Amino acid sequence: MMTRPAQSQPQAADQAAAPDRSRWTAAVFVAPVVLYLLAFQFYPLAQQFYLSLTDTSLLNPSRQTFVGLENYRDILSDPEFHQALRVTVVYTLVCVAGSILLGLGAALLLDRPFRGRGIARALVTIPWAAPPVAAALIFVWLYNAQYGLVSRASQALGLSAGGFNWLDEPSFALPAILVTTLWQIFPFSAVVILAALQGVPSELREAAVIDGADRLSVFKAVVWPTIRPTVALLALLITVWSLRRFDVIWIMTQGGPLGETNTLVIDLYRRAFVYLDLGRAAAVGIVGLAVAVLVTLVYFWASRRAEAASGRR
217-256: contacts with other proteins (CB under 8 A): 230, 233-234, 237, 240, 243-244, 246-247, 250-252
- CB atoms closer than 10 angstroms to residue 26: 11
DSSP class of 5? P
Residues in 49-88 at the binding interface with other proteins, rule: CB under 8 A:
51, 61
Closest to 196 (Cα-Cα) out of 218, 236, 228, 239: 228
List the interface residues with other proteins, window 176-215 (CB under 8 A).
183, 187, 191-192, 195-196
Contact by Cβ (8 Å): 82, 284? no
Q: Please choose, out of 39-47, 69-77, 170-178, 205-213, the segment that lies near other proteins by the rule CB under 8 A.
A: 39-47
Minimum separation from the CB atom of position 205 to other proteins (A): 16
Residue of 104, 124, 208, 238 that binds other proteins (CB under 8 A)? 124
Omega into 257 within 30° of 0, i.e. cis?
Answer: yes
User: In which element (H, E) is residue 313 found?
Assistant: none
Query: Site for other proteins (CB under 8 A): which residue of 68, 147, 171, 202?
Result: 147
Nearer to other proteins, 211 or 293 (CB): 293
Identified binder of other proteins from the candidate list 84, 85, 135, 223, rule CB under 8 A: 135
Alpha-carbon distances of 269 from 3, 246, 247, rounded to whole Å: 50, 9, 11
Whether residue 254 contacts residue 277, with contact meaning beta carbons closer than 8 Å, is answered with: no
**Binding residues among 250-309 for other proteins as defined by CB under 8 A:** 250-252, 265-266, 268-269, 272-273, 278, 281-282, 285, 288-289, 292-293, 296
List of long-range contacts for 162-171, beta carbons under 8 Å, 24+ apart: 167/140, 167/143, 167/252, 167/253, 167/257, 168/256, 168/257, 169/257, 170/257, 170/258, 170/260, 171/260
Nearer to other proteins, 12 or 258 (CB): 12
Residue from 67, 130, 207, 221 in contact with other proteins (CB under 8 A): 130
For residue 169, the minimal CB distance to other proteins (Å) is 17
Task: Out of 146, 170, 211, 304, name the contact with other proteins by CB under 8 A.
Answer: 146
Q: Which is nearer to other proteins, 159 or 211 (CB)?
A: 159
